Amino acid sequence: MQTSVENNRIKPTLLNRLNQKTAVIGVVGLGYVGLPLMLRYIEVGYRVVGFDVDADKVARLNAGESLIEHIPAQSIAQARKQGFIATTDFGRASEVDALVLCVPTPLNKYREPDLSFVIATIESLAPHLHAGQVVSLESTTYPGTTDEELRPRIEARGLTVGEHVFLVFSPEREDPGNPDFSTRTIPKVCGGCTPACLEVGLALYGQVIDRVIPVSSTRAAELTKLLENIHRAVNIGLVNEMKIVADRMGIDIFEVIEAAATKPFGFTPYYPGPGLGGHCIPIDPFYLTWKAREYGLHTRFIELAGEVNRAMPEYVLGKLMDGLNQQGKALKGSRILMLGIAYKKNVDDMRESPAVEIMELIQAKGASIAYSDPHVPMFPKMREHHFNLSSEPLTEENVRVFDAVVLATDHDRFDYDLLLSHAQLIIDTRGKFRDPSTKIIKA
């Protein structure tokens, strides 16, 4: 047992190590959130140990390879030279001063929160925790997760949160491929289980993030993240519904949005698309609606937006079938090319991409499906979807052989003039083709 004198030294010692950059940082989950964070800690002089259950990913990182398109391999190689090491051995958690958890929080098939990755991670780490460490959860989740799931598992090891181990929630705010914001410049929200936890959490992030915003609790920090993304989901749902109305009225919704965006106050432009993608926006609203039911609440507004957004892939499918019918063709037996399968433009991020759902719908109707995406040369392994496909080259000859192309992700590297000249039919879900044409179907 530790003496009271030793307990009194735990927090000051950890704060000193964090502030002096002598602390060893453990990043758990080396994906779109964990890798940029690792690089930032390395950049300012910390030593970092990366943890991941994927042995192939760990081997490639240790060989200096990058797993993400917008992160150069030389950045990984330089991090290795500065002491970064990746491992599948969670026993090495005992070597670090801080553990930052960046693991997935998907939905299950019933659209309920799946915390299996978070729980498996903390249970793997818990036997190796010791006094004088800080644990930060960054994975988006419902209010109460840090208190209800992580804290009991840590304290079951005989460690008191706020005295021996310091527990915080600080939601990730990565925007992959966005050149205007970096890990350093995006403000970071942080909430602690206790005031002492918050103090340590602010020290954990204060050396690597330009601005850290403290909030009163982990629950407040958890709800902050959900509000940010529900705000976007609801507004995208609104504009997706407006798209359907405008289309029925023969009005170009993108022209309307651009005109409305000239108002210098009270309006923020959101743009319609084929559905929601990315790890946050399609998922986060359901974390709150699920938790709200525990309090006897029905979040009707949020759920309605979710219904609208989830219906978009079916809407695109209907537009594709309408376009083929106008040319005297059926979808069954047609050859369809999906343009862009990443969830947003100019990245290789496939998480929750609506393009994949559209591909499955098209295939289920008996059509032959292919895709072209300069950022995704091979269709990746995904938890719920699989196509044994590689990216088709976008050439005049190749485009002509498809009965229709569906523009799902408007990458800058696509040759839109070539598409307009040689495609038989274009289903445009992104508003890239604004001039009237008999071969363009807006979706």
Among 296, 174, 300, CA closest to 237? 300
Residue type, 232: R
Q: Record the tokens describing residue 11, joined without a space.
A: 């927090």
Taken as a whole, the chain contains a residue count of 443
Q: Give the separation between CA 124 and CA 129, rounded to whole angstroms.
A: 10
Active site residue 197: no
Upper half-sphere CA count for residue 255 (Cβ side, 13 Å)? 10
Q: Give the separation between CA 168 and CA 271, rounded to whole angstroms.
A: 35
Q: Give the separation between CA 47 and CA 44, rounded to whole angstroms.
A: 9
Residue with token string 């409305």: 260
Which SS3 state, helix, strand or coil, does residue 404 take?
Answer: strand
Q: Record the tokens describing residue 275, joined without a space.
A: 């559905």
Starting from the edge strand earliest in sequence, which strands make up the sheet with 368-372, in order? 368-372, 335-339, 404-407, 426-428, 440-442
Query: Among the options 190, 193, 197, 280, which is catalytic?
Result: 280
Q: Give the separation between CA 252 and CA 213, rounded to whole angstroms.
A: 41
Could you tell me how far CA 103 lies from the centroid of its own chain?
11
Q: Record the tokens describing residue 322, joined without a space.
A: 């309408």
Cα angle value 190/192/197 (rounded, 5°) = 115
Residue with token string 């978070």: 118
180 DSSP 8-state letter = T
Upper half-sphere CA count for residue 58 (Cβ side, 13 Å)? 16
Are 367 and 320 contacting, i.e. CB atoms less than 8 angstroms apart? no
Q: Which residues pair with 169 in a beta bridge?
A: 137, 191
Residue with token string 């890798």: 35
Q: Please give the C-alpha separations between residue 42 and each of 4, 37, 77, 106, in angstroms, as whole numbers.
A: 34, 9, 12, 29
User: Which residue intervals of 55-111 are DSSP H helices?
Assistant: 55-62, 73-81
Query: What amino acid positions are annotated as catalytic residues?
Result: 280
